[in-house]
Amino acid sequence: MFGESDSHINVAVVGLSGTGKSTLINRLRKVPDNLPGAALCGEVETANKPTMYDLPCMPSIRLWDFPGGNTAAQPQRYYFDTLRLYAFDALIINATDALSDLDVHLCSLAALYSLPVALLRNKADLALEAKLRRKDFTLPHDALAQLREEFHASLSSESLPLS
């Protein structure tokens, strides 16, 4: 996908449908969701093909918004190869509560290509609100600590090639 003369760092933002990949890109770019040029956001899958966005604060980085994986249009089994994720310089895997099978699959395949991976826990604010609403905790700090422990436990329960 990218030639050796490409001086940009191309980062693919991937994950399940509905994890907030497009919203993440807009936040990193400091662009409101409703402005022209923003990544399309919605409650249903809005990215139907990989779309590139410049990162104004770091002009050498390009963020690529990808359709959600593990869907009828993008089955997990073919997601990495069909979308040529091996051609990117790095992956940001946008996860929510626990790691999905797709997240683990992408980490494993990225390791085969020596691709750096950043696992991002998105929508933690919603999980925190739910914990506090259920009154599992009286202090937000304690609930947040448990959320971190749960996510780290899901990371260590998988045999991921993490460093």
Q: Which pLDDT score is estimated for 147? A: 81
Does residue 86 contact residue 78 with C-beta atoms inside 8 Å? no
| pLDDT tens, the chain, 163 aa long | 555 556 899 999 999 988 889 999 999 999 998 888 898 886 556 667 899 999 999 999 999 999 888 877 787 888 899 999 999 999 999 988 778 889 988 998 999 999 999 988 888 788 888 888 887 677 788 888 888 887 777 766 666 655 5
Coil, helix or strand at residue 136 = coil
Q: Which pLDDT score is estimated for 41? A: 84
Distance of CA 100 to the CA centre of its chain: 12
Bridging pattern class, strands 9-14 and 90-95: parallel
Number of domains the chain contains: 1
Q: Which pLDDT score is estimated for 158? A: 60
CATH number at 71 reads 3.40.50.300
In-domain check, residue 159: no
* Residues β-bridged to residue 53: 63
In-domain check, residue 26: yes
Using alpha carbons, list the distances in angstroms from residue 101 to 58, 69, 160. Answer: 32, 10, 12
In-domain check, residue 142: no
The string of pLDDT tens digits covering residues 12-50 is 999 998 888 999 999 999 999 888 889 888 655 666 789
- The DSSP 8-state label assigned to residue 92 in this structure reads E
Residue 126 dihedral angles phi and psi, to the nearest 5°: -70, -40
d(CA 60, CA 74): 29
Residue 59's domain spans which residues? 9-123
In-domain check, residue 88: yes
Closest CA to 160 of 106, 115, 122: 106
In-domain check, residue 156: no
The string of pLDDT tens digits covering residues 46-56 is 667 899 999 99
In-domain check, residue 133: no
d(CA 44, CA 146): 29
d(CA 97, CA 75): 21
Which tokens belong to 160?
């991921």
In-domain check, residue 130: no
In-domain check, residue 85: yes
Bridging pattern class, strands 61-65 and 9-14: parallel
Which tokens belong to 16?
């399940």
